[in-house]
Amino acid sequence: MSSIVPAPVARQPWQMLFPLFGLIAFGALVLTSAAAGDFSRYAESHLVRFGIFFVAAIVISRFSKDLVKFFAYPGYVVVLLLLMAVEIMGTLGGGSQRWLEVGPIRIQPSELMKPAVVVALARFYESLPVGVIPTWRALIPAGAIIALPMAFVLLQPDLGTSLAIAFGGGLVMLFAGLPLRWFIMAGAAGLAAIPLAFFFALKPYQQDRVTTFLDPESDPLGEGYQITQSKIAIGSGGLFGKGFNEGSQSHLNYLPEPHTDFVFATMAEEWGFAGGLFVIGAFAIILGWGFKVARNSADRFGKLLAAGMTATIFFYVAINLMMVMGLAPVVGIPLPFVSHGGSSMMTNMICIGILMMVHRWNLDAPKRGLMA
């Protein structure tokens, strides 16, 4: 096989790329239906963005380990400064101040912070002696790396992104070897603080989302409308769905945001349980490959990078699917590689690029060992 297939092609992680391409293509199909058959409205830009960010992922995959280590902290600081700039000169949209605009360029620094936190934490723990990991010296600086961007993101306000930063960073800390009892204590403290956070930290619309999640039927035409219509769309799909471009919930405008946050409901109505099984199965393969890359890494830096990036993608997938099924409050997190949106595509393709990079490091490690 190696004599038939060129080595650079054979070295690519096709076990991840094939399901990724499948999700992108299926997403374009669903987005075309969400626009009532208009390919140019959502699906065209979806494919163009993927093409651009896939090239960026390939470029990232060629980075050397020393280069990534060198830019880990400076990259984090630059994104943190961009988050601060959002508070000063950010652009309002949808009731939140999340974007920076410079001419035709519009960026959302909070999305860049998700992988930046993982890279910074991996660099931090890679530099610590093993004996220091179970001590407070491994906790306080890492906690600051996570807490600083979270504070600025919460000011926007953007609860979903702040939770994503905390989740990715927290998983890196767990995989780095911090004592499990610390996480149990933090979880217990978090549960105890929920009432205080609900009344004093959440905005009124965020409080409404939580109460609606707990009892969506109490206001089916108001705050509970999104979840109710999403459940109707998913349930009406049955085993094989109503067929392409035949979904009534999205076409008759019952389903809110059918091309972004609730794209899974749009898909499930038209493709049914079979379509949902394909989407979840493809994500399971991609995530399983990501954790395999982490497990196969020979050094702590690569392990933490791969585990953190995989955890970031997992958070997107898990929260979106739980949200559209009424198992989590609506927090505005799109479904990776399927939903329409440039910021989400950028973040997740950065994660894919870094995973491909660590995968390449793993393949090159035996060669370096033989040369030594």
| N-term to C-term CA, the chain | 28
Range scoring the smallest mean pLDDT among 136-140, 156-160, 307-311, 361-365 = 156-160
CA nearest to 168, candidates 333, 9, 3, 52 = 333
pLDDT grade, residue 365 (50/70/90)? confident
Q: Write down the pLDDT at residue 294.
A: 96
pLDDT grade, residue 89 (50/70/90)? confident
242 burial level (CB within 10 Å; 0-12, 13-18, 19+):
middle
pLDDT surpasses 70 at 368 = no
pLDDT tens for residues 248-304? Answer: 887 777 788 888 889 999 999 999 999 999 999 999 999 999 999 999 998 999 999
Polymer length of the chain: 372
Q: Where are the alpha helices (DSSP H) in the chain?
A: 7-10, 14-34, 43-61, 65-89, 109-127, 140-154, 159-176, 180-200, 204-214, 225-236, 248-251, 263-296, 300-324, 342-371
Q: With pLDDT > 70 as the criterion, what percentage of the chain qualifies?
A: 92
Tokens of 89: 């000169």
pLDDT surpasses 90 at 61 = yes
Q: Mean per-residue pLDDT for 206-232?
A: 75
Mean pLDDT for all residues in the chain? 88
pLDDT surpasses 80 at 87 = yes
Range scoring the smallest mean pLDDT among 170-174, 213-217, 267-271 = 213-217
Residue 155 is which amino acid? L
Q: Write down the pLDDT at residue 63.
A: 96
CA nearest to 234, candidates 272, 290, 179, 193 = 272
Which 3 state secondary structure label does DSSP give 107?
strand
Cα(179)–Cα(358) distance, integer angstroms = 26
Q: Write down the pLDDT at residue 93.
A: 65
Q: Write down the pLDDT at residue 372.
A: 40
- Residue 102: which residues within 8 A CB-CB, separation 6 or more? none
Question: Which is more confidently placed, 237 or 92?
Answer: 237
Q: Are 89 and 123 in contact (CB under 8 A)?
A: no
Residue 270 is which amino acid? E
Cα(43)–Cα(60) distance, integer angstroms = 25
Name, of 90-94, 139-143, 226-230, the range with top average pLDDT.
139-143
Q: Are 310 and 348 in contact (CB under 8 A)?
A: no
Instruction: Give the Å distances, CA to CA, from 346 to 111, 138, 193, 323.
Output: 8, 30, 33, 22
Cα(265)–Cα(321) distance, integer angstroms = 9
Beta partners for residue 363, in sequence order: none
pLDDT surpasses 70 at 173 = yes
pLDDT tens for residues 304-336? Answer: 999 999 999 999 999 999 999 888 888 878 999
Q: Write down the pLDDT at residue 371.
A: 41
Q: Write down the pLDDT at residue 370.
A: 41
Cα(359)–Cα(355) distance, integer angstroms = 6
Q: With pLDDT > 90 as the criterion, what percentage of the chain qualifies?
A: 55
Range scoring the smallest mean pLDDT among 13-27, 47-61, 180-194, 287-301 = 180-194
